Structure formats: structure tokens, C-alpha cells
Structure 1
Amino acid sequence: MGESTDVVVVGGGYAGVMAANRLTQRADVTVTLINPRPAFVHRVRLHQMVGGTGAAVVDYREVLAEGVQLLVDSVTRIDAAGRGVELASGGTVGYDYLVYAVGSGSADPQVPGAAEFAHPIAGLEEAQRLLPVLDAAPASAAVTVVGAGPTGIETAAELAEQGRNVTLACGGVLGPYLHRRGRRSVAGRLAALGVNVVEGPASLVTAVTRDAVRLADGRELPSAVTIWTAGFSVPDLALRSALRTDALGRLLTDETLTSVDDDRIVAAGDSAAPSGLPLRMSCQTAMPLGARAADTVLSRLAGQQPEALSQSFGAQCISLGRGTGIFQFGNRSDIAVWFHIDGRLGAKMKETVCKGIVKHLADEAHQPGGYKLHRMKGGAGRRQALEALRAEGPAVERIS
């Protein structure tokens, strides 16, 4: 390598922006962020965009360090041997190190009719395509939201608060992460908003038509607009680049987030599978992993051994319309506990978190290296899972 080290960050979401900003600590590092769109998508606000109560796009100038070069393009393949990435535009960009932060998107529902008649909202363009569909539907038209994780709950609540006739088809339990006390609170608020919550195994959607959804027990629910929020997938860039992945397509890494195939590639966010034990897909995970990935690169440049992953969790927060929400506390191993805060205070806490995400990124842009949350000690759950994994067979090792 010459006097300058070129680092390419693939993906401009929570993890990619955090990593890119943090890498600017060193003046001899050139950082290029490659992202398919020219603006930052604040994904935790997409449900507000769908409900018409807020925006989900932030100008990169607010969150990206001045020293980071933004290249609006898509990476079609990583040439690990040649240390370069191939672009959809036809060009190539070389690198000394690469941060793989391609994020996640909507999962292929693999349910008859879903691809044709249901509307996913995990990405900005998907949410934008849904808006005119909702605008064209009468306020009394039946809207079915499929999936009862945070996105499904928030979308159902947002639309119901706008006067929509909403059914939430859980496909299982309402709010799987929530403690039973928190779940009762969420169920009560949805009922107050008029949301028809369909729970249990029988609520699994087995087919979608233009004007209905069919459930596992044979029931058909009228649905003029069906919104699909069940599950996430990751881009297949790693697979196309002959890099090893887990079953979902997340890049396999060791506990320093280094690819098991190449020590010049590190991963962060939803598209990373450290030790084959990926963390929960969320911005709460993505930003610390972005900081950790950057620190791994910086440690190698300094001739030091990178630190192993230490991920701590604290809560999951869900908005239930504009005036109510829930802040579900969890332990450091990411298991919900009995304590939660709901009502107006819960909504304020959720809004504080949403604003805080952008602030964390902006602060790191202005003062790279200032973010510290990825250094908080994690819970015992991951350590125990790693020990069990190692007892079963050889550990996932980095290949130099």
C-alpha cells in the first residue's frame, strides 16, 4: 500500500454511515461510501411516511463526515482477489479494506399472490410505491397488515389513527420480542385504535388476492390494500462474490467482524453473521456494529489486534400512533424483562430514540471516534452461545 489507505464502505445505512464517519479519524485513510441513492433513509420512520405523519429521508450532509466521498451507485460484485468492487454503472473501485454494510430489505414472502398483490415497506422505494395505493383507497376500505413485529405494529397503529379500517394478521404472537405485560399494553392500545388483531397459528397468511387474504384456518379477510411486513432478507452480494455466508445470505465473520474468507473485508449491520450467530436486525445493532467494523480496520492499520465483538442491548421501542408508544426494557442479552414504559411517555421515549439515532451519526461525523456504545459490556447470552457452538465443533476462524 502507498501513503494513503483506501477504504470502501458498501451501503449507506445506519452501519455504513457510522463506519465511514469513524474511519475518518486517520488523515491517511481515504473513505468512499457507495450507496444506490443520494439520501440517507431513516428506516425507523418509514411507517410514519406510510401514514403521512412524517418523513423518512435525511440529507447526507446532516449525517456524513465531510471527508467521506459519496458515490451514488450499486455494487454488483466484490472481487476479493483483486481488491476491487464492480459497479452497476460499469466502473470499478479499488480498495485496501472493504466494509460490507449492505443492510437488509423485505423478505420474499413465498406466499401465493403476495408478490403480486401485497406491498412490502422495508425500503424507501417500496414505501413510496404504497403511498398512491393508499391515497386511491377509500378511508373505509379494508387494510390488512401482515406481520406483528415492530414494523407491522407501528404501521397498523399509524394507519388506524388516520381513520383506516385495519386488520393486523400476526401469523403467530403479537410482538414476539415483548414481555407478556408489554404485549398486553400494545394489544390494549391497538384495540383502542380499532385495529382488529388476529393472532395464533391460524392467523398465518397462506394466500393473497387482489381483495382478500386467506389464513391458515381457511378464513378469508377482505383486504383492499395488503401491506407485508413479515421478515427481512439481505442482498445476495456476498453470494455473488463467492464469499461464505449463513443460510440467509449474511456474510460470515469472526468475532472481530472480519470475513472468514478475507481479512481485508469486514462486515457490519444486518448483513453480518459473526461466528454464524447474527444479532437482531435493528438500528440498535447496526450502529454499534458499524463502529466495531471501523475499529477493526483502524486496529489493523495501527498494527494492533482488533477487539472482539461486545454487543449490549437495552430495549425495544415501538410507536403506537403519534401520541402513544411502548419502551420495552430488556437485559443485555436482548431478552425482554417485565418492566416497560407505555402511554405518552413511551411515545416521547421512542421519539427521543429516533432523533438520537441521527444525532449519533451526526456527532460521529463531526467528532470521529466519539461514539462509545459499542464498547458497553454485552450480556452472558452470546458468550454462552459461543461456548456451546465451540463445544459442538471447530470455531469459525478467520482465513488470512
Structure 2
Amino acid sequence: MVENTDVVVVGGGYAGVMAANRLTRHAGLTVTLVNPRRDFVHRVRLHQMVGGTGTAVVAYGEVLAERVRLVVDSAARIDAAGRRVELASGGAVGYDYLVYAVGSDSADPRVPGAAAFAYPVAGLEEAQRLLPVLAATPASAPVTVVGGGPTGIETAAELAERGREVTLACGGVLGPYLHRRGRRSVAGRLTALGVRVVEGAAAKVTAVTRDAVRLADGRELPSAVTVWTAGFGVPDLASRSGLRTDALGRLLTDETLTSVDDDRVVAAGDSAAPSGLPLRMSCQTAMPLGARAADTVLSRLAGEQPEPLSQSFGAQCVSLGRATGIFQFGNRSDVAVPFHIDGRLGATMKEAVCKGIVKHLADEAHAPGGYRLHRVKGGAGRRRALEALSAPAAARIPSSAAAEGEMITS
């Protein structure tokens, strides 16, 4: 092990904190975490913050190892040649290895009026900007939530349970990850809460005004407050720094999460695109990838070959207000299966997951190296996709049976 090695982690979310904590298990490392906030944002609780039923802020003292030096600043540029991170404040932090874990944020809506009149909730500051707007809006005034994924569903349910008149505009199918049985359960609960759900291509939002949302079929939904949850984007730090990315801006890496441009840069979480096949954006992905990124750095320092990615999935859980939720089971390749648990038990399981996330981070802070979930074998569908990519061009043309079955679902 090389002594006095500096590792800088850029981004203090689920992946970044896990990576930083895990790196402290070796005394020869100086670990620095660069993050624009002094507190950890528990993003899976932002919908509760918006609904006024909880907080999404956790003190770093609860989840970050004492040996990690926290630099509260934003990374302006990565100088890979000089091995330093240039900071927005004008300073810089040097590194021997860098873990790129900048996470994700709200996608550019690219819908007329959305930037001016809609309120994203993907980040803490965005949620904080929405709170006084909701407080100043009568409870009887119509609220439209745009986006039928987990964040949209959870936000709509939270606001409806607090007495708001809510419409959920999916622009596609409700809960696209869910199995059809789980989707029926979620639709039933939203109906019980009074949420009006509009689905399908005709429900795609084409414009947002101060007091309405326009859909693709010409309908207008009255909307005193429009909440935007449709899609995620990725900060452009990597591309601004001259590192190769995918079309969304995620850092391109190999299967050890090492940048294709620089073996001193390792990525984790929502901002990583291993082999150009990024995993689902979620904390379920981010924390294992953070542990894997740390292990890659430690392996290289020890002169060992890092292990390739083997990501296992198990479920997606969605809260539907405070008393109900759904725990949608999936296979290890992240495809939903028919079995789910809903109702009060579903809510209890979702809450256990939210608490468990913080516990995993805190446990790794106090006993680095103890986290093991990134070593659970999985990702058979991913391995098949990688094999298909590496096959000769003629072999990539699937038979009709394969095209309609395994290749698509994996």
C-alpha cells in the first residue's frame, strides 16, 4: 500500500459518502469529500419534505467517517493532467485518485414554460423553493404533478393525503417499472386519495403556463402549482473537464468503474456509465457502486486487479402517503416480477428501507469495509448485454424470438 495517498471524492450523496467512508479502512489514505452543502441530503425523503411530513436533511456527523475531510464547495473543473479539482471558490484540491460521484439532478424539461412556471423536486434547494409556494396556495387550488415515476407518484400521494387537489400527468404509463399487478394497486390507492391520473401519449405535457398545464391532445389542466418530476439529468462536470461521457453526461467507464480516459478517475452512482450501459438511477444502485468504486481504488493501490461490476437488484419501493406503500419485487437483473406487498405493510417496508439507507452509511463510517451488498451476485441481463456488445456485428442481429423476449427484458 502506497503511503500518504490523497483520494478526493466529488459529491456527497449516497455513492460519494459510501465511497469516502469505505476508503478510510486504510490508514495510508487521506480522504477528502467535496460537496456544496454542509449536510447530507436524504433524497428519497424529499417528497415528504414537500408534503410537510418529514425532513430530508441529515447531519454529516451521522453518516460520514471522522477521518474524511469535508470541503464545502462546488467542483468547477477536474484537471486530470494536473490531478487536481478546481473549486468554485477559486481554490483547488490535489489528488492521486478521484472518485466521481456527482449524482443526478432535475432534467432540463425542454417544454415551453416549464422552466419559468414548474417546480422540480430532485434536489434540496428545489424542494425548498417549492415549500413557500405551496404554503401560499389555498388547499383547494389545483396542483399538477408531472411525471409518473416513483418521485411523481410519491409527491402526488403526499400532497393529496394533506388535502390537496392533485392531478398526476404521466405522459406515458403510471409507474413504468412496476409489474401490471403492482401498477393496479398503486392506481387504486391514488384513486382512493383523490388523485386524478392521466396516462398515455395523449397526456404528455407540451406546455406549462402560470395557471395551467397543456397536454398533447389539446386538453388543459388547471394548475395553480405545477410540480415537475419527469426525468433526471446529470451535472456536466465530466464533459466540462474533457472526460468522455454518454449522451446524458454520465462518465464513461469500464466494468471496474474506471474512466475510459484516466485510470486515476473512478466513477460511482447516477453519474457513472459503465461500458456505456448505465444502471437505474437510485440509491439502490448508488451505494453498492460507491463501495465498488472504493474497492477499485484500494485494489489499484495494492497492485491488484479490481473486480468487475456485479450489480444485484431486488425491488423498488414507493410510498403512497404515510400509511400505505408498495414494495415491488424484481429479479436480480432489475425486472419487476408479479409479486408485491402493498398497504400498510408496504409502507412499513418502505420506511425500513429509508432508515436502513442511513444506517448502512453510518455503519460504514464507524466500521469501514463492513458493507457487503455490492458483492451479492447478480446482473445476468447485464452480462448478456455486454456479450452482445462484444459480439461481431453479424452476431448482434437477433432472431425474432430473441428480439421479442430475452434481449428486450434484460
Q: What 5-or-longer segments of structure 1 have no aligned partner?
A: 394-400
Q: Distance in 2 between matches of 1:154 and 1:122?
A: 12
Q: Using structure 2 for the length normalisation, give the TM-score.
A: 0.95
Give the partner amino acid of 1:319: S
Output the TM-score relative to the length of structure 1.
Answer: 0.98
Code of the aligned partner of 1:98? L
Matches within 5 A, 1:343-358: 343-358=343-358
Residue 397 (structure 2) aligns with: none
| Seq. identity, % | 86
Matched with 1:121 is: 121
Amino acid in the other structure paired with 2:93: V
Aligned residue for 1:101? 101
Give, in whole Å, the separation in 2 of the partners of 1:91 and 1:209: 41
The residue that corresponds to 2:234 in the other structure is 234
* Alignment partners' CA distance in 2, 1:112 and 1:285: 33
How far off its partner does 1:146 sit? 0.1
Q: Give the Cα separation in 2 of the matches to 1:277 and 1:318.
A: 25
Q: Deviations over 1:308-348 (max 9, x none)?
A: 00000000000000000000000000000000000000000
CA drift of 1:380 comes to 1.2
1:80 maps to 2:83: no
1:389 and 1:224 mapped to 2: Cα distance?
48
Could you list the runs of 5+ residues in structure 2 that have no partner in the other structure?
Answer: 394-410
How far the C-alpha of 1:3 sits from its partner, in A, is 3.0
How far apart, in 2, do the equivalents of 1:37 and 1:391 lie?
45
Amino acid paired to 2:388? A
* SS of equivalent residue, structure 1 residue 9: strand
The answer to whether the 8 Å contact 1:169/1:203 transfers is: yes
CA distance in 2, matches of 1:389, 1:45: 37
Q: Does the residue aligned with 1:266 lie in a helix, a strand or coil?
A: strand
| Residue equivalent to 2:362 | 362
1:189 aligns with 2:184: no
CA contact (8 A) 2:10 2:16 kept: yes
What do residues 127-147 of structure 1 show as CA deviations (whole Å, max 9, x unaligned)? 000000000000000000000
* CA positional deviation for 1:379: 2.9
Supply the AA of the counterpart residue of 1:51.
G
**Separation in 2, partners of 1:159, 1:247:** 34
Cα drift, residue 2 of structure 1: 7.2
Q: After the TM superposition, list the runs of 4 or more consecutive aligned residues in structure 1 that deviate by more than 6 angstroms.
A: none
The one-letter code sitting in structure 1 at the alignment partner of 2:223 is S
Cα pair 2:2 2:301 within 8 Å, conserved: no
Counterparts of 1:354 and 1:91, CA distance in 2: 36
Contact 2:15-2:268 within 8 A present in 1 as well: yes
Whether 1:22 aligns to 2:22 is yes
Letter of the structure 1 residue corresponding to residue 225 of structure 2: V
Q: Is 1:340 equivalent to 2:340 in the alignment?
A: yes
Residue 294 of structure 1 pairs with residue 327 of structure 2: no
2:328 maps to: 328
Aligned residues: 393
What SS class does the counterpart of residue 363 from structure 1 fall into? helix
Give the superposition deviation at 1:356: 0.1
What is the letter of the counterpart of residue 48 of structure 2? Answer: Q
- Cα deviation per residue 1:240-296 (whole Å; 9 max; x = unaligned)? 000000000000000000000000000000000000000000000000000000000
Distance 2:287 2:252 in 1: 18
One-letter amino acid of the counterpart of residue 71, structure 2? L
In the alignment, is residue 280 of structure 1 matched against residue 248 of structure 2? no
Partner residue, 2:384: 384
Contact 1:120 1:127 in 2 (8 A): yes
Residue 408 of structure 2 is matched in structure 1 by none
* Alignment root-mean-square deviation, CA: 0.8
For residues 221 and 77 of structure 1, the distance between their equivalents in structure 2, rounded to whole angstroms, comes to 42
Whether 1:67 and 2:67 are equivalent positions in the alignment is yes
- Is contact 1:331–1:379 with CA below 8 Å preserved after alignment? no
Paired amino acid for 1:388: A
8 A contact 2:104–2:232 mirrored in 1: yes
The residue that corresponds to 1:396 in the other structure is none
Q: Which residue of 2 aligns with 1:168?
A: 168
The answer to whether the 8 A contact 2:158-2:321 is kept is: yes
Write the distance in 2 (CA, Å) between the matches of 1:337 and 1:85.
43
Distance in 2 of aligned mates of 1:3 and 1:152: 47
Q: Distance in 1 between matches of 2:129 and 2:120?
A: 9
Aligned to 1:254: 254
Q: Which region of structure 1 is more displaced relative to structure 2, 5-14 or 382-391? A: 382-391
Structure-1 separation of matches of 2:347 and 2:308:
35
- 1:31 matched residue in structure 2: 31
Aligned to 2:402: none
- How far does residue 392 in structure 1 lie from its aligned partner after superposition? 5.0
Superposition pairs of residues 121-140 of structure 1, within 5 angstroms: 121-140=121-140
Quick check: 2:2–2:28 contact (8 Å CA) kept in 1? no
CA distance in 2, matches of 1:108, 1:363: 36
Aligned residue type for 1:143: V
**Equivalent position SS for 2:12:** coil
| SS of alignment partner, residue 391 of structure 2 | helix
- 3-state SS of paired residue (1:76): strand
How far apart are the structure 1 equivalents of 2:154 and 2:167? Answer: 13
Report the Cα offset of residue 391 of structure 1.
1.4
Partner residue of 1:198?
198
